[in-house]
Amino acid sequence: MIRRLAVIGVGLIGGSLARALRVAGAVDEVVGCGRSVANLERAVELGVIDRWDQDPAQAVVGADLVFVAVPLGTMGQVFSAIREALDPDAVVTDGGSVKGSVVADARAAFGCIPPGLVPGHPIAGTERSGVDASFAELYQGRRVILTPLPETAPGALERVSAMWQACGAQVTLMEVAHHDEVLAATSHLPHMLAFGLVDALARMRENDEIFRYAAGGFRDFTRIASSDPVMWRDICIANREPLGAMLERFGDEMKDLAETIRSGDAAHLLEIFARAKAARDRYVDGMAKGREEAPI
Amino acid sequence: MIRRLAVIGVGLIGGSLARALRVAGAVDEVVGCGRSVANLERAVELGVIDRWDQDPAQAVVGADLVFVAVPLGTMGQVFSAIREALDPDAVVTDGGSVKGSVVADARAAFGCIPPGLVPGHPIAGTERSGVDASFAELYQGRRVILTPLPETAPGALERVSAMWQACGAQVTLMEVAHHDEVLAATSHLPHMLAFGLVDALARMRENDEIFRYAAGGFRDFTRIASSDPVMWRDICIANREPLGAMLERFGDEMKDLAETIRSGDAAHLLEIFARAKAARDRYVDGMAKGREEAPI
């Protein structure tokens, strides 16, 4: 049970955590913090938070759990701002999509890794932003990856695990660098392709016509290109090495595929498409199965 | 009104056309043709077709409208097979995703472009295949591109337009080469990226783990990678020049983007992502609007 939860960044991720914990009866009081007063007032109106303070240091006073859900580029500032104001026993976790940069920012801000720090990443989200987009069920059946460090206190890890389980999520532990590579492949690379495709089409002459003839498949394929540009800029910068390497390799593979198409190598094309379809179909079955097994 | 419709290839596309025309009361009799007897018998059972013949020449006898909905690689064989059996006044149209290759196949099979030929492409579909996947509403509010040739009889064009409008579709006319370029951008390129991404991930060590941590965005993004590999092999071969060129350029752009990420050029990244998001959001609004205006 959380006595006072401070949510720094009351958007889709932070707002949904607060909502889920309230529904689960796992939190007494929620204090919000963010840059937009309108968004914070809306969060109070929606019952997501009880009160707010725009100063992170004020917002974390007396909080036994602090959840930082701001763009990766702002993590370091938040850590520096709350450093002196945190309760000695406060547990701090975050929702950042890259963990190496969060750990580096924490180390820089705190001068060390505090035992109460549990870096985390809920694998959930939609392309929408802001507290109005948040909902209590966002994390149900979803995976949350926690990347505790050698310095992390076992008790802090237990508290953050219990918090996510109360939201219906499945918690997995992973090493920081491994998390960043897995996510580069499954999330960051697809986002680059979606942003890149929509941007390439938008730059074409006759782009109005191009978009007019796009079918439903295109809409699904590019949905993630409606995600928050600032968040994705920060993710790219934070995970630049694994993502840059993967995207470069993918660019080469697409050029190879272009050559296969141009040369009319039908057998090779069929092999690639059949292998991809088999993996996709198997994966979707696996995911549906994982959902059923999830402790909802 | 169609007296006897012959559907060569009773799958998602051909089956949905037959269903839609039946619901609209726009067809008297539907004769099916295909390679799988089980699928044809299922089509009779579902009421999609009245009867079937596995020989295309027999299937088109007495038909006033023939719809060819087979993979692009099989179009030429179907045209050759039906050539002698067609009624003199029969109108022939197709559902192929590439129009240049269909026109070339028709010219080779018929020795010329028959006045009754109206190449067409309904911009609709799902990743599923077979008559069980077909449904009457597939074309409602969707666009159908027809690419009539100088040889095409105006009466034939009118009949095919009326057929699609009876299914609730919006008909647009376009030149053959222009169609193939527009579709390379909006449909064929995204499919290559989805197939390529899933294949790249499936080839990674620890691919089970990779797929396990993929979130909802990944599922939507890669849904089209579950499409029929044979159909897509044929589309690539049929549209190899425009698609090959576009995919090669995209591969270069992804390598440029990788370099931008690696160099940490935050301002340039934000510019790309913001432009893509703006285009995507504008496009989705436009598409939703188009749907409302569609003659459903």
A244's tokens: 């840059």
Q: What is the pLDDT of residue B287?
A: 60
Of A198, A204, A216, the CB nearest to B276: A198
Amino acid at A88: P
Are B215 and A123 an interchain contact pair (Cβ–Cβ within 8 Å)? yes
In angstroms, the separation between the Cα of residue B119 and the nearest Cα of chain A is 17
Q: What is the pLDDT of residue A208?
A: 80
Are B251 and A248 an interchain contact pair (Cβ–Cβ within 8 Å)? no
Of A124, A270, A286, the CB nearest to B233: A270
Q: What is the pLDDT of residue A49?
A: 98
DSSP class of B227: S
- Tell whether B44 and B156 lie within a shared domain: yes
User: Tens digit of pLDDT for each residue in B250-280?
Assistant: 999 999 999 999 999 999 999 999 999 999 9
Q: What is the CA radius of gyration of chain A?
A: 21
- Tell whether A29 and A149 lie within a shared domain: yes
Are A284 and B219 an interchain contact pair (Cβ–Cβ within 8 Å)? yes
Whether A207 has a pLDDT exceeding 90, the answer reads: no
Confidence of residue A250 (pLDDT cuts 50, 70, 90): very high
- Tell whether B9 and B153 lie within a shared domain: yes
Residue A281 within a domain: no
CATH number where B33 lies: 3.40.50.720
Number of domains in chain B: 2
Nearest CA in chain B to A275: B199
User: Tens digit of pLDDT for each residue in B229-243?
Assistant: 999 999 999 999 999
Mean pLDDT of A225-254: 95
- Tell whether A158 and A227 lie within a shared domain: no
Whether B295 has a pLDDT exceeding 50, the answer reads: no
Q: What is the domain range of residue A99?
A: 2-174
Mean pLDDT of B212-237: 87
- Tell whether A184 and A156 lie within a shared domain: no
Amino acid at B141: G
Determine contact, residues A149/A60, Cβ cutoff 8 Å.
no
Whether A293 has a pLDDT exceeding 50, the answer reads: no
Phi, psi of A92 (to 5 degrees): -120, 130
B258's tokens: 């990788």
User: Tens digit of pLDDT for each residue in A221-231?
Assistant: 888 899 889 99
Average model confidence (pLDDT) for chain B?
93
- Tell whether B109 and B253 lie within a shared domain: no
Are B237 and A198 an interchain contact pair (Cβ–Cβ within 8 Å)? no
Whether B294 has a pLDDT exceeding 50, the answer reads: no
Q: What is the pLDDT of residue A287?
A: 60
B15's tokens: 């089956």
Mean pLDDT of A115-120: 98
How many residue contacts between A and B have a Cβ separation below 8 Å? 308
Q: Which of A167-181, A218-232, B67-81, B211-225 has the lowest mean pLDDT?
A: B211-225
Which of B27, B6, B11, B153 has the alpha carbon at shortest distance from B78? B6
Chain B residue numbers with beta carbons less than 8 Å from the beta carbon of A181 are: none
Chain A residue numbers with beta carbons less than 8 Å from the beta carbon of B269 are: 232-233, 236-237
Residue B271 within a domain: no
Q: What is the pLDDT of residue B284?
A: 72
Q: Which of A155, A174, A193 is the last residue of a domain?
A: A174
Confidence of residue A206 (pLDDT cuts 50, 70, 90): confident
Chain A residue numbers with beta carbons less than 8 Å from the beta carbon of B221 are: 190, 193-194, 220-221, 223-224
Residue A295 within a domain: no
Residue A285 within a domain: no
Chain B residue numbers with beta carbons less than 8 Å from the beta carbon of A13 are: none
Residue B249 within a domain: yes
In whole angstroms, what is the distance from residue B103 CA to residue A98 CA? 51
Determine contact, residues A44/A131, Cβ cutoff 8 Å.
no
Residue B239 within a domain: yes
Q: Which of A156, A174, A192 is the last residue of a domain?
A: A174
User: Tens digit of pLDDT for each residue in B104-159?
Assistant: 999 999 999 999 999 999 998 877 889 999 999 999 999 999 999 999 999 999 99
Chain B residue numbers with beta carbons less than 8 Å from the beta carbon of A262 are: 240-241, 244
CATH number where B238 lies: 1.10.3660.10
3-class SS of residue B196: helix
Of A210, A245, A257, the CB nearest to B196: A257
Whether A214 has a pLDDT exceeding 60, the answer reads: yes
The more confident residue out of B284 and B12 is B12
Spell out where A150-238 has E strands.
170-173
Chain A residue numbers with beta carbons less than 8 Å from the beta carbon of B123 are: 213, 215
- Tell whether A190 and A170 lie within a shared domain: no
Confidence of residue B206 (pLDDT cuts 50, 70, 90): confident
Q: Which of A127, A159, A174 is the last residue of a domain?
A: A174
Of B127, B228, B236, the CB nearest to A261: B236
Instruction: Name which of B97, B143, B219, B261 to mutate to probe chain A: the one with the most chain A Cβ atoms within 10 A of its Cβ.
Output: B261
- Tell whether B242 and B117 lie within a shared domain: no
Confidence of residue A128 (pLDDT cuts 50, 70, 90): confident
In angstroms, the separation between the Cα of residue A193 and the nearest Cα of chain B is 8
Q: Output the pTM of the full model.
A: 0.85
Cα angle: B212, vertex B216, B221; to 5 degrees: 100
In angstroms, the separation between the Cα of residue B290 and the nearest Cα of chain A is 8
In angstroms, the separation between the Cα of residue A238 and the nearest Cα of chain B is 9
- Tell whether A120 and A8 lie within a shared domain: yes
Residue A227 within a domain: yes
Nearest CA in chain B to A206: B182
- Tell whether A35 and A82 lie within a shared domain: yes
ipTM, two decimals, is: 0.85
User: Tens digit of pLDDT for each residue in A134-175?
Assistant: 999 999 999 999 999 999 999 999 999 999 999 999 999 999
Of A190, A269, A287, the CB nearest to B233: A269
Residue A240 within a domain: yes
Which of A71, A78, A76 has the alpha carbon at shortest distance from A54? A78
- Tell whether B200 and B234 lie within a shared domain: yes
Average model confidence (pLDDT) for chain A?
93
Are B185 and A210 an interchain contact pair (Cβ–Cβ within 8 Å)? yes
Are B279 and A248 an interchain contact pair (Cβ–Cβ within 8 Å)? no
Burial of A87 from C-beta contacts in 10 A (0-12 / 13-18 / 19+):
middle
Whether A290 has a pLDDT exceeding 70, the answer reads: no
Whether B296 has a pLDDT exceeding 50, the answer reads: no
Of B221, B236, B270, the CB nearest to A269: B236
Of B218, B219, B254, the CB nearest to A254: B254
- Tell whether B87 and B153 lie within a shared domain: yes
Are A221 and B224 an interchain contact pair (Cβ–Cβ within 8 Å)? yes
- CB half-sphere exposure, B276, CA atoms < 13 A: 27
Task: Return contacts of B73-81, CB within 8 angstroms, 24+ apart.
Answer: B73/A266, B73/B230, B73/B233, B73/B234, B73/B237, B73/B238, B74/B234, B75/B101, B75/B102, B75/B105, B75/B106, B76/B105, B76/B108, B76/B109, B78/B8, B79/B105, B79/B106, B79/B108, B79/B109, B79/B110, B80/B109, B81/B55, B81/B56, B81/B57
Chain A residue numbers with beta carbons less than 8 Å from the beta carbon of B228 are: 277
Mean pLDDT of B44-60: 98
User: Tens digit of pLDDT for each residue in A32-78?
Assistant: 999 999 999 999 999 999 999 999 999 999 999 999 999 999 999 99
Instruction: Name which of B197, B237, B282 to mutate to probe chain A: the one with the most chain A Cβ atoms within 10 A of its Cβ.
Output: B197
Q: What is the pLDDT of residue A215?
A: 67
